[in-house]
Amino acid sequence: MNSINPRQIMDNLLKEVSKSVIGYEHEIKLLFACLIAGGHALIEGYPGLAKTTLVKAFAKALGLSFSRIQFTPDLLPSDITGSLIFNPKIGGDFEVRFGPIFANIVLADEVNRAPPKVQSALLEAMQEGQVTIGGKSYELPKPFMIIATQNPHRVGGYIPTTRGTTGQIHDKNKTGGVSK
């Protein structure tokens, strides 16, 4: 019988992620704890500190599917969740086109650049592990975790993250970059 050694899993995870980005051992441990607990995380830091690289390497090291959503002022909720698309090839009916939320690890990059109605598209996914498209609910893959990044409010062009969104976050971590 093979026993799972949590310490060995963490050591392997740290080793694999460190191949892509260094100095984020504490953040990796927090992200892993959030994933195990079924939670979500928010990483705050200035642009260019490898937040996106960290999340992508985290998902890859765990062998989980990964999707990145770049939040912008013109993003629509259906750009995240998916929508019904008319398809004349199937008898003129509508078919579901799933959005990037359908991945194990979803990076909501610069979440505070989008208006509140777009941020709210994450709520059903975070609360219930599902998304509703055209009145029908679709389960999200398991495990499922949203890791949102945001730049500090001192950086221009950002909209405050809604209380509904931050209320679903289990860990908020401010990062300053590489540590020794």
Tens digits of per-residue pLDDT, 135-145? Answer: 999 999 999 99
User: What residue spans define the domains of the chain?
Assistant: 6-174
Average pLDDT over residues 106-122: 90
Q: 6-174 domain in CATH 3.40.190.10?
A: no
Q: 128 vs 26, 37, 46, 68, 138, CA distance in Å?
A: 28, 14, 31, 20, 10
Q: Is the pLDDT score of 56 beyond 80?
A: yes
Average pLDDT over residues 62-82: 95
pTM: 0.82
* Percent of the residues in the chain that have a pLDDT greater than 90, as a whole number: 63
Least confident piece of the model among 48-57, 125-134, 154-163: 154-163
Average pLDDT over residues 71-76: 93
Give the Cα separation of 142 and 1 in Å (integer). Answer: 25
Structure-model confidence comparison of residues 9 and 172, the more confident one: 9
Average pLDDT over residues 115-128: 90
Give residue 153's pLDDT band: very low, low, confident or very high (50, 70, 90).
low
Q: What is the pLDDT of residue 120?
A: 86
